[in-house]
């Protein structure tokens, strides 16, 4: 099985999906605990939610599960949020702090090295290549990193998460006009709460690829799963009514994002 899916589009927008994959090789699955096999921390159905919203967008999607190795973590193992609870490059627990591995079957350093080469590196090689291609074609590229998480996860944060969580690492990962376009679309989304650079201010993907001075912008969108799932517990089914209500909001975000990206490209060409 290929570890990523790639669709080359015609837009400056690249949709990245590091956490929607559910593939776990049998030899890894055998080492997971009963809780681990639930795959509770999947970004359930996000690629379906965004499907067709911006037909010209490129798509890079990891097919492997984050319990194999997390495609949105630093390959060196550095924490995204020092001093706060989070999960690592190869998670030992789920988002509730519960072990996901059978006793004595936790990943070793050799396992991590093998999974970096097998899963993490190919996914990011594909994403880097697509960023380079899109930037060469348009003069600008925007990585829109697509995520979701349960609305309430006490191990990670207090209270209930807003519906729409925009991450730009304090504005470092994108042009101000890009950040403003996403924020304005969220402000206009009646019935949905939002926050800019709250608990989730952008993961490793956003931070490592977002270099606006080079024409590469990155934004993370973390959706509270209550906005589109029937239940945030198994079987994690998509609520078609909620999804149908949310999709136009996400389409407005992407449409504004594309318009601003094309405007920035035109501005650079005329400079």
**What digits encode the pLDDT tens for the residues 61-88?**
999 999 999 999 999 988 888 888 889 9
Q: What is the pLDDT of residue 82?
A: 85
Q: Please state, in angstroms and as integers, the Cα–Cα distance from residue 67 to each residue in 114, 134, 186, 193, 217, following that order.
A: 14, 30, 31, 30, 28
Strand order in the sheet with 216-224: 4-7, 58-62, 13-17, 141-149, 216-224, 164-167, 194-196
Residue of 109, 107, 89 lying closest to 33 (CA atoms): 107
**What digits encode the pLDDT tens for the residues 210-265?**
999 999 999 999 999 999 999 999 999 999 999 999 999 999 999 999 999 998 87
pLDDT over 90 at 9, yes or no: yes
pLDDT over 60 at 35, yes or no: yes
The CATH number linked to 129 is 3.40.630.40
Q: Please state, in angstroms and as integers, the Cα–Cα distance from residue 10 to each residue in 48, 130, 136, 141, 265, following that order.
A: 20, 11, 12, 11, 14
For 213, the domain range is 4-270
pLDDT over 70 at 271, yes or no: no
**What digits encode the pLDDT tens for the residues 81-126?**
888 888 999 999 999 999 999 999 999 999 999 999 999 999 999 9
The domain total for the chain is: 1
């Amino acid at each position: 099985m290929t570890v990523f899916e790639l669709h080359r589009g015609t837009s400056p927008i690249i949709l990245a999906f590091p956490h929607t994959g559910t593939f776990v090789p049998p030899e890894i699955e055998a080492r997971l605990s009963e809780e681990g096999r639930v795959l509770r921390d999947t970004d359930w159905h996000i690629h379906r939610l965004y499907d067709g919203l911006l037909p010209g967008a490129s798509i890079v999607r990891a097919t492997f599960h984050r319990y194999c190795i997390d495609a949105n973590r630093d390959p060196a193992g550095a924490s995204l949020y020092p001093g706060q609870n989070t999960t690592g490059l190869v998670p030992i627990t789920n988002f509730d702090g519960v072990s996901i591995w059978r006793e004595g079957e936790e990943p070793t350093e050799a396992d991590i090295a093998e999974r970096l080469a097998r899963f993490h590196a190919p996914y990011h090689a594909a994403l880097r290549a697509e960023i380079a291609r899109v930037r060469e074609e348009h003069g600008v590229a925007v990585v829109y990193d697509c995520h979701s998480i349960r609305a309430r996860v006490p191990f990670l944060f207090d209270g209930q998460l807003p519906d729409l969580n925009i991450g730009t690492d304090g504005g470092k990962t994108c042009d101000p006009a890009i950040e403003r376009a996403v924020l304005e679309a969220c402000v206009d989304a009646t019935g949905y709460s939002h926050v800019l650079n709250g608990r989730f201010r952008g993961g490793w993907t956003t931070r490592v690829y977002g270099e606006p001075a080079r024409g590469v912008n990155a934004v993370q969108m973390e959706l509270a799963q209550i906005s589109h799932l029937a239940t945030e517990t198994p079987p994690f089914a998509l609520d078609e009514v909620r999804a149908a209500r949310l999709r136009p909001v996400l389409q407005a975000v992407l449409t504004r994002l594309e318009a601003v990206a094309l405007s920035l490209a035109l501005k650079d060409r005329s400079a």
